[in-house]
Structure 1
Amino acid sequence: MAPASGAFTVPPDALLRIAATRQRSCDLDLLHAALHSRRLVLFKALLARVGRGELPSAARAAFDRDWRLLELAESPAPAAARRLLDYPAVGGWIVDALNAPGPDGLTAALHPLGGIAVGTALRTGARLDTVLPTAGGRLVLPGVGAQDARAARVRIRSGPHGTLLTPVGNSARSVFLRPDGRGAGAGWSCLAVLPGSAGRLDDLGTGHTLVPDAAPRPDRAAWLTRWRAAIALLASADPWRAAEVTRLVRSVVPMTPAGGGASSGTLRAAPWAVHTALPDTARRFAEVLVHELAHSKLAVLADLVALHHADGSAVHHVPWRKDPRPLDGVLQGTYAHLALADLWSRVAERPGATPAARHVARARREEYRAQVADALTVLLDSRQLTEHGVRFAVSMKQHLTSLGRGSNSPYALSDSLSGDGDVR
């Protein structure tokens, strides 16, 4: 596996642009490079944990096999491998494995590594010939899809033109996968592409979920229809924000609604994944995408720049929560709500909006703006922000002040975020 890069420096102007929630392409390139470096560090930490000798011999042999497969899969095209290795669910899986309790927990947590290697080979065209165990007769390739093999083991043969999955003892359910993940054969289901983006609807249980897999399987058509409507709403009000969402979101992972209502979340170990119950409207889905994407951006930035030195004590109150929040939670929530204030400011000014629609959007903007203003006071009065954190908070405050005053951002955004859709 390629070595991790050295330390990353966030230029002062990039920090201010990210704080305003509307960064440039070069800023995103920095975040992606830092995330990949962090992912490689976690892989090496996992290798070190396994090397301490706590695994039973059979489990260690399986890990050694899968690790060799991953190295072989990556070697022909490291840049192509990067996209799979940086998939959100892979980050969540590594952290789970690092935190797994004892030998038995670690043994169970290591099972997805073989599927990660196969998914990587599919992207790079690497030649593999091996046999992998399934989990309950199912072979999962994170970020790609899942095979209902109905067998305990599957033979994997991959090359430049695709991958053949042959269930041992049940060859009638063999599947041939093209490099794009689409397959021919019984029992294969690939992840659906989120229209207009490079992301996937991870509705097959290949993602790292916040809750147990829901049954029955989510209504894929309903999810994709609502995604299209949400992106259309964003594009009509703020093409820049629509381009950001379609470029950055790598996966949408369906969740079971919490407490009878819609819910969403982001895992710090799995940036660029949006975990959510199906929002009931396009407007709500657009809000969820912008909100959770802000959490991802700040999660990656926080690994590069120390924004505060708080100890995690939950002593701060914010308008959007009844329970006290640690300072990091205040910062995360403030940033996500600023992105929503920015969104509704632009929805209010979109061409063709009716007076009634403008009124509703402005009311939403002012609601979020008031919440952010209160939380910024908490942050700036806490004396727990670092020098970088103060600059970040001040930039958030400046952007908040600019909303609703004609020009919605004090920052020039001359370069498009749309690019070619390839987010590493």
Structure 2
Amino acid sequence: MVSPVLSDRSLAALGRTEGDPDTLALLVRDQDTRRLLMLRALLDAVEDGALLPAGARERMREDWHLLEEADRAVPAGDGGTPSPPYATTPARARLLHPLVGPWVRQCLRGLRPEAGGPTERRVRELGRDLAHLGALAAAAAARAGIPFAVRLTAWDGVLTLPSLGALRTAEPGDVPVDVVCADGRMTLRQKHAVDVTVQVEDGIGAWSAAPAWRPAHALPGLLPGVPLMPLDDLDPYRGAAHGGPRYHELSGPTVLDETDRKRWAQAWAGTADVLRLGGEHRLAEAVALLRCLVPLADPPRSGPDARETGSCSGTRREAFGALLSSRPPTPATFAATLVHELQHTKLSALGDLLELHHAGPQQRHFAPWRPDPRPYDGLLQGVYSHLALADFFQRCALRAERPAHREAAWSRHARYRAQVAAALPGLVDSPDLTERGRRFVDQLVATHERMAEYPAPRGHTVRAQAYVTGVRDLWTRRHGPAAGHPRV
């Protein structure tokens, strides 16, 4: 694959934790191209693979043919939600949805040869994963207004049609469901149950009076005229629990009730204003990069009060544009979470475009935000996201009207800036940086230094430095001197 060329100007903008519209669009196009190539690789692997359940190869061909029909249909959003630039048809919208990425990787993992030959369980799981293409194709065709009739399978009593909703079957287990679509209406038929009729509507979700049907939901776009933001609590591949590794300390995915959705909507409603307070570019990058929200359960908070809950958020490299998060309690928290996590999204996409360093996976670097040693790439990711947060809260502090909000923002800025200052030597001193990686890290340093033009009040700075010193002392007692830091 030939990646697009990233200009020095774009690299410098990303080094400032920013990104102009052209730079962000380049990252998006590259990630979309990679997704389509992964899908091509999956189809080729299915054609060539011996490890396939009976009939799986022919069914994959049929499902892909239905997707191709949907791809030739009217652009997504005609008469309804505007189409985002990365998805011009219902089929592209489905295939480029973030949570298709984990599904493709799951299928490719299942198709790899393994020592000792395939087990019956592995073949069964692979067949189940490959069958998800049928649900994707049906959802795309329904959105495109194409009449069709297919037989799908509800796994463990649930049939999920991405962007439309999910059907809970009358019987448990793996249940065949016939799906017939015509004139914007789907009929879902199963044995020993009344037919469920679903009305396909513009935007996100399809609606039915049947209690067995649960529609997909979305939040309004961050700005007027931009697409709805899927709040995806239905997709079977949305969490690390589905056959993949655990990601950081994330809790598992959760299903929202009406009260939960209202609370998400309340926090989301004010998020754009807070993002704008921290810089118009923060709002612009959220609009450009964020494609769906995946609700996570509130993780328990460690400490003496076990009744309290903490919060968590994360991204998955293979799910470009997805934010996995427990419910942010306030718009300010939501905005800070977006700033933090979208830096990981940007940096991962940048790393796919060019090689920033040759460092290995050895975990030996000190990061004030983690109790454990970090590999070089993990340190780079952490510095990048914390530098963006320091910038964000400095801008919020300079623009805040209420003294309490101003002091809170200065406190957060001072903490993040002090953390970055303590971690930067581990990046700068590395001999493993490439030429462009060195320019990128130098830009991080320059961005950090420019923040000194508008320093936080001295009290906040002193407390932040004392905090980082205490964390470093504890870390050194546990792990010894960190790479890139002098012995003391």
Q: Deviations over 1:83-116 (max 9, x none)?
A: 3211110111111221237433322322321111
Per the alignment, residue 46 of structure 1 pairs with 42
Question: Out of 345, 351, 368, which is 1:302 matched to?
Answer: 351
Quote the residue 2:66 is aligned against. Answer: 69
Which deviates further from its counterpart, 292-301 or 252-261? 252-261
Kept after mapping to 2: 8 A contact 1:75/1:126: no
The alpha carbon displacement at 1:242 in A equals 2.5
Question: Does the CA-based 8 Å contact 1:156-1:165 persist in structure 2?
Answer: yes
2:320 is aligned with 1:271: yes
Deviations 1:61-103 (A, max 9, x none): 4333323332333233683232321111011111122123743
Give the superposition deviation at 1:330.
0.9
Taking the TM superposition and a 5 Å limit, the aligned residue runs for 1:196-211 are: 196-197=221-222, 198=227, 199-206=229-236, 208-211=238-241
Between the two proteins, the alignment pairs up a number of residues equal to: 401
Change in Cα spacing, 1:190 to 1:395, as seen in structure 2 (3 Å) is farther
For the pair 1:245 / 2:286, whether they are aligned, the reply is yes
Partner of 1:422: none
* TM-fit CA distance, 1:156: 3.3
SS at match of 1:36: helix
1:145 aligns with 2:147: no
Partner of 1:114: 134
Look up the equivalent residue of 1:310 and give its one-letter code: A
CA distance in structure 2 between the partners assigned to 1:296 and 1:122 by the alignment: 31
Alignment of structure 1 residues 224-373 onto 2, 5 Å: 224-260=265-301, 261-351=310-400, 353-373=401-421
Q: From the superposition, tell whether residues 90 and 121 of structure 1 become closer, same or farther in structure 2 (CA, over 3 Å).
A: same
- Cα distance in 1, alignment partners of residues 201 and 298 from structure 2: 35
TM-score, with structure 1 as normaliser: 0.86
1:79 partner amino acid: T
Q: Retained in 1: the 8 A contact 2:19–2:285?
A: no
SS of the residue 2:327 aligns to: coil
Q: d(CA) in 2 for partners of 1:89 and 1:258?
A: 22
Does residue 27 of structure 1 match 2:23? yes
1:27-55 deviation digits (Å, cap 9, x = unpaired): 11111110111001111221232221211
Specify the structure having the higher radius of gyration (Cα): 2
Tell me if structure 1 keeps the 8 A contact 2:394–2:410: yes
2:170 maps to 1:174: no
CA deviation string 1:244-302 (max 9, x = no partner): 32443211111123343211111000021111112333322221111111111111111
Aligned CA distance change for structure 1 residues 168 and 285 (closer, same or farther; 3 Å): same
TM-score (norm 2): 0.76
Equivalent residue in structure 1 for 2:187, among 165, 189, 213: 165
Amino acid at match of 1:145: G
Q: In structure 2, give the amino acid aligned to 1:63.
A: M
Instruction: Letter of the 1:358 partner, please give it.
Output: R
Counting aligned pairs with the same residue, the percent is 35
Whether 1:155 aligns to 2:178 is yes
Paired amino acid for 1:242: L
Q: 1:216 deviation in Å? A: 6.9
**Deviation for aligned residue 1:126:** 3.9
| 8 Å CA contact 2:25, 2:288 repeated in 1 | no
Shift of 1:404: 5.6
Cα deviation for residue 166 of structure 1 reads 2.3
Q: Which has the higher contact order (CA 8 A, sep 6+)?
A: 1
Q: Which region of structure 1 is more displaced relative to structure 2, 299-308 or 124-133?
A: 124-133
